[in-house]
Amino acid sequence: MVHATRKIVVIDDGAGPRDPHNACNPPVRGAMPWSRPINGDIRFMAETLTQVFEPASPIDTSGFYPELGLLIQGQWIASSDGATRDVVDPATARVIGRLPEATEQDVQRALDAAQAALAGWRRTPPAMRAGVLTRAAALMRERIEVIAQTITLELGKPLSESRVEVERLAGVYEWHAAEAQRIYGRLVPGAEGVNNLVLREPIGVVAAFTPWNGPAASPGRKITAALAAGCTVVIKPAEETPGSAIWIARCLMDAGLPAGALNMVFGNPGNISSQLIRSPIVRAISFTGSVPVGRQLAALAGQYLKPAVLELGGHSPVVVCEDTDVVAAAQACARRKFLNAGQICMSPTRFYVQKGVYERFTEAFVETSRAIRIGSGFHAQSQMGPLANERRREATERLIEQACGVGASVATGAERLGTQGFYYAPTVLTDVNAQVEAMQTEPFGPIALLLPFETLDEAIARANDTAFGLSAFAFTQSSAAADRLVREIECGIVSVNHFMGAGDSTPFGGMKDSGYGREGGAECFDGYLVSKLASHKVR
């Protein structure tokens, strides 16, 4: 595997070299000081289309990064034994904070707090619960810059993408607030003199677990659905991106959420998840993450007869038919592929392109991929940041090396970038053997796999040829082909001629090894409510 280092340039727009990291300290609202244009100067692009902007010094986080702590009974506290772990900026590999690690006693305190708060919160009228969520959404929008900067600092993705994450999350909170007021029961006719009333009640205390790739959105979605349903929550967000989740919790607390309704702990994932699921206080779990961990948690939850909502990632196929605008489709596919450096569960990865347009699609896809500008997420021109950690970069390299070892060709990329942080070039592989690990395992990195097909039957069969079933995409002008693709591809989400994501009003979830249960849409409360029959014989 080649580990090349490309030329590093800090843009000079006439006012002297600018370090984008140092620019982020002052204002947290309005236009960012590093967002001014660079006067069309693209001389630095002469050597290569893919460019790394490397900061010369670490970020001053004093204006936006929150104090890290455990949230228990409405208080931010340190761990009871003082243990901490480092939080690292993936753009520089520098430590940006030290996160308390909860002990067994800390986790039990969080469980007790959630249990104590449950009785009052579940009796709170839906309109009042909705009011808290609506105010929290407003606070997220007011604080969008500090939250977005925290996401970019911890995860590395461009600030523009981080802002979108916060804005969409605020919309999710507003959706749940509205839906919480439409949790209806029903009256079922019975025998003469008998009233059968079906009630939908909160299931109880929910344990939630979320990954680092959606550091605000993923914990935010689980928290708001559970709270809107009348449940209380103990959540363990990812230890690599704690500040983003802490900001969401702060918005809820400032919006009037009662102490104990939400508790947030960090620490050893295995120990905490085992303690939470085994606890008789917890009545349901919600998990987003890898298939192996999801299997373990589902097995443990099943042992204790606790329902679960599981979103376990994907390996999204894209079917490109020859009747589409091939160049436009290729450009859209490449841009979508490398959002968040490919670290998205719905990231398109396996591109099946009809043979007649395969070469033209590949050429346009590679050209677009090479033009993506890579660097600090705080730089206004950056289109892709670093990978989240060194583990992901090493895993990316291993998958590429294995694929190339059995015949795959590198059309572009396959190299490390920069001298610090976890940067990796957008990589396009062609002539990929269907049995290589990258075709069967979620790459979760900047790898695109391009393969030709002849018939729609072949494309559908190959799209379904993995254990995953989260999302799929297709490009065609044929209504008949679109109908077949939607009906026959085995995924929870199929989008044609665009890259539809998880909206607040639409259900999000998968099938097969991608898990079960849904977040969002009218189905959003299914994992947090139980149905009770109240049968009353009138005397």
| Calpha distance 457→454 (Å, rounded) | 9
- Measured at the alpha carbon of residue 409, what is the angle toward residues 491 and 485, in degrees to the nearest 5? 20
**In the chain, helix, strand, coil percent, each to 5?**
40, 20, 40
Cβ(215)–Cβ(238) under 8 Å? yes
For the chain, the first-to-last Cα distance in angstroms comes to: 81
Cβ(448)–Cβ(434) under 8 Å? no
Name the token pair of 504. Answer: 């607040």
Hey, which bits of 210-281 come out as E strands?
232-236, 262-264
| Mutual angle of helices 269-278 and 104-123, in 10-degree steps | 50
Active-site choice (251, 345, 491, 524): 345
**How are strands ordered across the β-sheet holding 409-412?**
409-412, 427-430, 447-453, 348-354, 316-320, 471-475, 493-496
Give residues with Cβ within 8 angstroms of 362, minimum separation 6: 330, 353, 411, 428, 430, 450
**Residue 404 annotated in active site:** no
| Calpha distance 233→220 (Å, rounded) | 12
Active-site choice (54, 154, 174, 311): 311
**Residue 333 annotated in active site:** no
| Calpha distance 417→423 (Å, rounded) | 5
Q: Please report which residue ranges of 77-229 form alpha helices under DSSP H.
A: 104-123, 126-142, 144-155, 159-179, 217-229
- Residue whose C-alpha is closest to residue 14's, from 46, 32, 47, 36: 36
Active site residues: 311, 345
